[in-house]
Amino acid sequence: MIIDFHVHTFPEKIAGKALYKLSRSANITPYTNGTLDNLLVSMKESGISYSVLLPIATTPSQYETINKTSIQINTKYKDKGIISFGSLHPDNSNYKDILNSLAREGVKGIKLHPVFQGVYLDDIRYMRIISYACEQNMIVIVHGGMDISFPGKDYAVPVHIMPIIKEIKPDKMILAHMGAWDCWDAIMPFLSEYNIMMDTSFTMPRLPREKFLKMARLTGIQNVFFGSDSPWTMQKESVQSIKESGLSTEEQEMVLYKNAIKLLGL
């Protein structure tokens, strides 16, 4: 079994346009056409049993459509291995109602992206959302570090990550991209003390193998989750990068699926 904890798709009607816009801004080429059906093909080719879909509300008004779609996907694709999270924007003042509604519908978590949402992670609005999500026993996945689509935008770098970690002490918050994309040296001193949960999305082979191993073992292998960031990386190659990372067989199993099974309650 393999569980990919970090993938993205788009509604079929806008997938082409969305991929074109995002690929141009980031200067990267997507590996799928951005649709759910194409993701399922990729999963089959890669031996992936489950993929966790992470939508992002880039404006306050988007949460209703995004979360309604997530609930529908979880029903329609339940037997095909797709698990969709929800999302909301830090400007949603009704965040408690949104999170309560998602929890009632069985949605296991939310995705937040400070760079796309244009708000620093240690802003009180994020503090409130993450704190309440923790109270609801929901998983929170947050973009960590820089974003190649927005050079210089430091909304989610470690100086803005650590106040959340220290104050809220979230027990189900995963920082994407091995904690802080392209800021790995800055997050590393905190790993062993705070046991920060991280996913591997869009990091390997960008993150040197020796540094990846050091970071994974500092924070604890039980806190590392495999993620590809499909369509921006190829799932099959991302799986192979974990197998060639230098992790032991037992560590690979924890990263590729055992940690995710426990967190998702599968």
* Tokens standing for residue 74: 């979880």
Q: Which amino acid is at 208?
A: P
Q: What is the pLDDT of residues 60-97, one digit of tens each?
A: 999 999 999 999 999 999 899 999 999 999 999 999 99
How far apart CA 23 and CA 36 sit, in angstroms, is 18
Q: Is the pTM of this model over 0.85?
A: yes
CATH number of the domain residue 108 falls in: 3.20.20.140
Domains of the chain: total: 1
Handedness of CA 245, 146, 122, 58 (dihedral sign): negative
Q: What is the pLDDT of residues 30-46, one digit of tens each?
A: 999 999 999 999 999 99
Domain enclosing residue 78, as ranges: 3-264
CA distances (Å), origin 114, targets 153, 216, 264: 10, 24, 24
In three-state secondary structure terms, 119 is coil
For 178-210, what is each residue's pLDDT tens digit? 999 999 999 999 999 999 999 999 998 789 999
| Separation between Cα atoms, residue 261 and residue 255, nearest integer Å | 10
Could you tell me which of 84, 89, 127 has the C-alpha nearest to residue 108?
A: 84
pLDDT in tens, 124-161: 999 999 999 999 999 999 999 999 999 999 999 999 99
Structure tokens at 66: 């995004």
